[in-house]
């Protein structure tokens, strides 16, 4: 009888696992709350109108048809691994031989966060930010504050890269429109050296960009709360802004926090090196849903979610053939990003042995754009995976 793998979540991790397991001949069911995969890394260009919303979406039904994946578009309501059962929002239930959890993460909710907008939450928020930005541009002036927070319960759940990219891209857009003198751009974060996990060189390079571009910094100031058009800091100071783009730190997914599966203090699922959830040999967690183990600077990223998905798929293959799982994700932990600033980018790589930063004026921007096309073509099976991706 065919082995049935149930995958929860159709993002970076879930989609990669589904494709890999179908190539290995498993019966695969993919459950996603939405009918498209959202390509977060290129969504930074939706607010600046560099791309349309649809360009950052990859329809899941085309991929499901191509690979023979059974796709169910319906939110997961609960996971009960002790019963081997997953319940969906419509009340239907699914069983599995192997389960892969790839549902991403939720966000912490600092006081007053409803007065901010985030590029890292629900995809549609990118369109709301675009409208707010359009409004300020037609007014011809404004104050824009961009920031991100940390989660002391899991420092790997911070997402600062897109905040830096967002502020640099807005700077470039305003410069092109000749409006820079009428706008005030400020970046804020509670940690004294936000972005330091990218490595010393990358951090210093970013600081020099801030100085060169005239973007104000409020680093190392704990955030007390957000109010309408203001960030209030614990030291009593405040930052007024017409648009606040704030990326709250990640937190465990609310459905998984109720699942009874073992988790760390922040609600991320505890896994071993093979991506198996501790105490559950046939349940795997990959990507942002999982608690990562590894170097202090580790971060939840899309490329790592894909590595973990392939690790989980390989281990399911081994287990289903009566072998011990052999693949591990920890040796692959690295930070890899092409940090875009509108008219160029910087290639940043960090692993256990080295940290590299390479400024790529002009060409870096187009490389990142090309990566977005490549990702879609690769997932659609039209081009093979590039080595090292």
Can you give the binding site for ligand FAD, defined by CB under 6 A?
Answer: 8-14, 31-34, 40-41, 43-44, 75-76, 102-104, 119-120, 159, 161-162, 255, 287-289, 300-303, 305, 337
Q: Minimum distance between the CB of residue 312 and ligand FAD, rounded to whole angstroms?
A: 11
Select 300 or 310, whichever has its Cβ closest to ligand FAD. Answer: 300
Q: Minimum distance between the CB of residue 228 and ligand FAD, rounded to whole angstroms?
A: 24
What is the rounded distance in angstroms from the CA atom of residue 336 to the CA atom of residue 235?
35
Select 45 or 210, whichever has its Cβ closest to ligand FAD. Answer: 45
Q: Minimum distance between the CB of residue 41 and ligand FAD, rounded to whole angstroms?
A: 3
What is the rounded distance in angstroms from the CA atom of residue 119 to the CA atom of residue 173?
17
Contact 265, 165 (CB under 8 A): no
Q: Minimum distance between the CB of residue 189 and ligand FAD, rounded to whole angstroms?
A: 16
Burial level of 138, CB count in 10 A (0-12/13-18/19+)? exposed
Q: Minimum distance between the CB of residue 76 and ligand FAD, rounded to whole angstroms?
A: 4
Q: Where are the beta strands (DSSP E) in 203-251?
A: 216-219, 223-227, 230-233, 238-240, 243-247, 250-251
Select 72 or 179, whichever has its Cβ closest to ligand FAD. Answer: 72
What is the rounded distance in angstroms from the CA atom of residue 196 to the CA atom of residue 206?
10
What is the rounded distance in angstroms from the CA atom of residue 38 to the CA atom of residue 10?
9
Contact 266, 251 (CB under 8 A): yes
Q: Minimum distance between the CB of residue 32 and ligand FAD, rounded to whole angstroms?
A: 5
Angle formed by the axes of helices 12-23 and 302-320, nearest 10°: 30
Select 149 or 302, whichever has its Cβ closest to ligand FAD. Answer: 302
Tokens of 101: 């959890």
Select 108 or 182, whichever has its Cβ closest to ligand FAD. Answer: 108
Cβ contacts of 353 within 8 Å, gap of 6 or more: none
Select 233 or 347, whichever has its Cβ closest to ligand FAD. Answer: 347
Q: Indicate the residue whose CB is closest to ligand FAD.
A: 11
What 3-state DSSP class applies to 314? helix
Q: Minimum distance between the CB of residue 146 and ligand FAD, rounded to whole angstroms?
A: 12
Select 28 or 221, whichever has its Cβ closest to ligand FAD. Answer: 28
Cα dist from 192 to 150, 178, 221, 317, whole Å? 12, 32, 7, 45
Select 89 or 141, whichever has its Cβ closest to ligand FAD. Answer: 89
Contact 356, 349 (CB under 8 A): yes
Q: Minimum distance between the CB of residue 322 and ligand FAD, rounded to whole angstroms?
A: 29
């Amino acid at each position: 009888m065919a082995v049935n793998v149930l995958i929860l979540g159709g993002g970076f991790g879930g989609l990669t696992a589904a494709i890999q397991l179908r190539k290995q001949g498993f019966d695969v069911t993919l459950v996603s709350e939405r009918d498209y995969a959202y390509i977060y890394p290129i969504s930074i260009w939706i607010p600046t109108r560099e791309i349309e919303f649809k360009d950052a979406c990859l329809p899941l039904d085309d991929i499901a048809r191509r690979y023979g994946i059974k796709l169910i578009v319906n939110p997961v309501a609960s996971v009960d691994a002790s019963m081997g059962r997953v319940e969906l929002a419509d009340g239907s239930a699914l069983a599995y031989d192997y389960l892969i959890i790839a549902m991403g993460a939720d966000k912490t909710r600092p006081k007053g966060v409803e007065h901010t907008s985030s590029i890292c939450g629900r995809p549609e928020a990118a369109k709301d930010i675009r409208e707010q930005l359009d409004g300020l541009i037609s007014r011809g002036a404004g104050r824009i504050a961009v920031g991100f927070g940390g989660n002391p319960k899991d420092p790997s759940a911070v997402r600062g890269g897109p905040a830096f990219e967002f502020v640099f891209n807005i700077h470039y857009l305003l410069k092109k429109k000749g409006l820079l003198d009428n706008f005030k751009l400020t970046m804020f974060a509670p940690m004294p050296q936000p972005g330091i996990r990218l490595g010393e060189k990358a951090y210093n390079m970013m600081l020099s960009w801030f100085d060169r571009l005239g973007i104000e910094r409020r680093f190392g100031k704990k955030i007390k709360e957000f109010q309408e058009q203001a960030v209030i800091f614990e030291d009593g100071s405040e930052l007024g802004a017409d648009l606040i783009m704030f990326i709250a730190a990640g937190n465990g997914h609310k459905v998984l926090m109720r699942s009874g599966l073992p988790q760390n203090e922040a609600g991320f699922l505890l896994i071993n090196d093979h991506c198996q959830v501790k105490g559950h040999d046939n349940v795997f967690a990959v990507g942002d849903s999982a608690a990562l183990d590894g170097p202090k600077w580790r971060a939840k990223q899309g490329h790592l979610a894909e590595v973990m998905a392939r690790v989980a798929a390989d281990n399911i293959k081994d287990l289903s053939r009566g072998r011990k799982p052999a693949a591990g994700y920890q040796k692959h932990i690295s930070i890899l990003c092409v940090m875009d600033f509108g008219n160029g980018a910087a290639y940043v790589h960090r692993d256990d042995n080295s940290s590299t930063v390479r400024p790529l004026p002009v060409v870096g921007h187009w490389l990142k754009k090309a990566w977005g096309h490549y990702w879609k073509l690769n997932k659609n099976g039209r081009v093979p995976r590039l080595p090292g991706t």
